[in-house]
């Protein structure tokens, strides 16, 4: 073999190696079936610092940014993000592989929902990733194909694909935040006092945790409860309470004001201030511990010899709640707001007619 032939082969090998490296980096060439949609993402997950989701007209849906202790949604005043939801979405993108190549004709992109999101009629979402020391492509996620697959395209490239994942990427900023506000189960609740702006006060209580139903104080003479457990929905109103939206508590509140105080058997106190206008209910919360409450008894140790769980500490729980909710007001579902702010009339049978 001549030196010239050897040199030509060596040069060809160098070019081929360069093309392979570019392909592994999500370079200019189309991906083939079985290859990763975003080749570098799986190793870059820990380095991702910002995720921006956009929709039609280039409108930003949400920008999520990594902070030292958590992720936040900058479009929601840096409220804490749902890190699990973000992790699931990014993992699905990282694990997504091409099932088959689809159209590379821009006039056909709309059939798959992979047109550029700068278009006013774009059906898909773009996901732009920023990772330290990494150059990652922006991904356009198009229409779903069944429950498991989805069409996708790397922005700036003509080729579109059918991928073997269907990442869950919400289309509203409020859906990216940590939606759980507070979780206080009804069996813990000892008393609830609801004070309405017009002076209507509703008081509910239980004498012990073993009782199934709340008593309602000051039922008007000649009236009776709709049914025995009608007030239980109030005592359980803060169980797994989720937000629909969130904003700083400095925003002006409008509508009729209602105050709710909830006390648990183990000494936690929650004060909720609500306002409702145009069927939108917003609340603020503040937690504290009742200094007069008896310390909760430590739970019994499990039969398998494992350590017993710690006794309830209402002061520590109040501190955790306040660390999350202080300075924020929350929009909650209208039906949940109504459950939390019942009036006496809502608990009673209609008055009998003469």
Instruction: Give the structural domain span for 328.
Output: 180-291+311-347
Same domain, 207 and 154: no
Give a yes or no: residue 219 inside a domain.
Answer: yes
Same domain, 84 and 192: no
Same domain, 109 and 186: no
User: Using an 8 Å Cβ cutoff, are 215 and 204 in contact?
Assistant: yes
Same domain, 219 and 341: yes
Provide CB contacts within 8 A for 338, sequence distance 6+.
281
Pairing mode, strands 189-196 and 268-277: unpaired
pLDDT of residue 105: 97
Same domain, 169 and 186: no
Q: How many domains in the chain?
A: 2
Give a yes or no: residue 168 inside a domain.
Answer: yes
Quote the distance between the C-alpha of residue 350 and its chain's center: 40
Same domain, 198 and 61: no
Give a yes or no: residue 171 inside a domain.
Answer: yes
Question: Considering 161, 176, 191, which residue would you say is the last residue of a domain?
Answer: 176
Using the CB atoms, write b or e for 143-161: b if 16+ within 10 Å. Answer: eeeeeebbbbbbeebeebb
Same domain, 61 and 76: yes
Q: How far apart are CA 22 and CA 19, in angstroms?
A: 5
Same domain, 209 and 153: no
Same domain, 50 and 134: yes
Give a yes or no: residue 305 inside a domain.
Answer: no
pLDDT of residue 18: 42
Question: DSSP alpha helices (H): ranges in 99-243?
Answer: 109-112, 232-235
pLDDT of residue 255: 85
Q: In a 3-state reduction of DSSP, which class is residue 24?
A: helix
| Tokens found for residue 264 | 């648990």
Question: Considering 150, 176, 202, which residue would you say is the last residue of a domain?
Answer: 176
Question: Considering 145, 176, 207, which residue would you say is the last residue of a domain?
Answer: 176
Same domain, 323 and 195: yes
Give a yes or no: residue 304 inside a domain.
Answer: no
Q: How far apart are CA 98 and CA 117, in angstroms?
A: 21
CB-facing half-sphere around the CA of 64: CA atoms within 13 A: 29
Gyration radius (Cα) of the chain, Å: 28
**Pick from 54, 51, 56, 43: nearest CA to 71:** 51
Same domain, 84 and 117: yes
Give a yes or no: residue 193 inside a domain.
Answer: yes
Give a yes or no: residue 263 inside a domain.
Answer: yes
Same domain, 201 and 270: yes
**Pick from 138, 163, 135: nearest CA to 149:** 163
Give a yes or no: residue 300 inside a domain.
Answer: no
pLDDT of residue 30: 85
**Pick from 294, 292, 288, 281: nearest CA to 333:** 281
Strand partners, 202: 194
pLDDT, one tens digit for every residue, the chain (354 residues): 555 544 444 444 443 444 333 443 444 478 898 999 999 899 999 999 999 999 999 999 999 999 999 999 999 999 999 999 999 999 999 999 999 999 999 999 999 999 999 999 999 999 999 998 888 999 999 999 999 999 999 999 999 999 999 999 999 999 999 999 999 999 999 999 999 998 899 999 999 999 999 999 999 998 999 999 999 999 999 999 999 999 999 987 788 899 999 999 999 999 999 999 888 999 999 999 998 875 555 555 566 655 545 567 999 999 999 999 999 999 999 999 999 999 999 999 998 765
pLDDT of residue 22: 41
């Amino acid at each position: 073999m001549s030196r010239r032939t050897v040199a030509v082969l060596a040069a060809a090998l160098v070019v081929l190696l360069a093309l392979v490296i570019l392909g592994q980096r999500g370079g200019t060439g189309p991906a083939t079936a079985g290859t990763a949609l975003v080749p570098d993402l799986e190793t870059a997950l820990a380095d991702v610092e910002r995720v921006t989701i956009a929709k039609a007209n280039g409108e930003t849906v949400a920008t999520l940014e990594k902070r030292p202790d958590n992720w936040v949604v900058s479009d929601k005043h840096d409220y804490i993000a749902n890190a699990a939801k973000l992790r699931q979405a990014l993992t699905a993108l990282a694990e997504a592989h091409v099932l088959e190549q689809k159209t590379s004709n821009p006039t056909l992109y709309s059939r798959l929902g992979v047109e550029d999101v700068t278009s006013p009629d774009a059906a898909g979402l773009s996901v732009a990733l920023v990772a330290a020391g990494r150059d990652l492509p922006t991904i356009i996620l198009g229409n779903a194909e069944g429950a498991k697959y989805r069409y996708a395209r790397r922005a700036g490239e003509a080729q579109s694909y059918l991928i073997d994942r269907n990442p869950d990427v919400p289309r509203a900023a409020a859906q990216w935040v940590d939606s759980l506000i507070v979780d206080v189960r009804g069996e813990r609740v000892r008393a609830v006092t609801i004070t309405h702006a017009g002076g209507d006060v509703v008081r509910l209580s239980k004498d012990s945790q073993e009782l199934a139903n709340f008593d309602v104080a000051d039922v008007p003479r000649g009236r009776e409860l709709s049914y025995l457990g009608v007030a239980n929905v109030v005592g359980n109103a803060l169980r797994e309470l989720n937000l629909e939206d969130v904003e700083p508590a400095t925003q002006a509140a409008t509508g009729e004001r209602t105050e709710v105080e909830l006390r648990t058997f183990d000494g936690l106190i929650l004060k909720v201030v609500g306002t409702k206008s145009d069927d939108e209910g917003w609340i603020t919360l503040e937690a504290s511990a009742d200094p007069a409450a008896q310390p909760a008894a430590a739970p019994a140790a499990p039969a398998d010899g494992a350590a017993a769980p710690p006794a309830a500490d209402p002061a520590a729980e109040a501190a955790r709640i306040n660390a999350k909710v202080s300075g924020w007001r929350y929009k909650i579902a209208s039906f949940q707001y109504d459950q939390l702010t019942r009036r006496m009339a809502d608990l009673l049978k209609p008055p009998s007619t003469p």
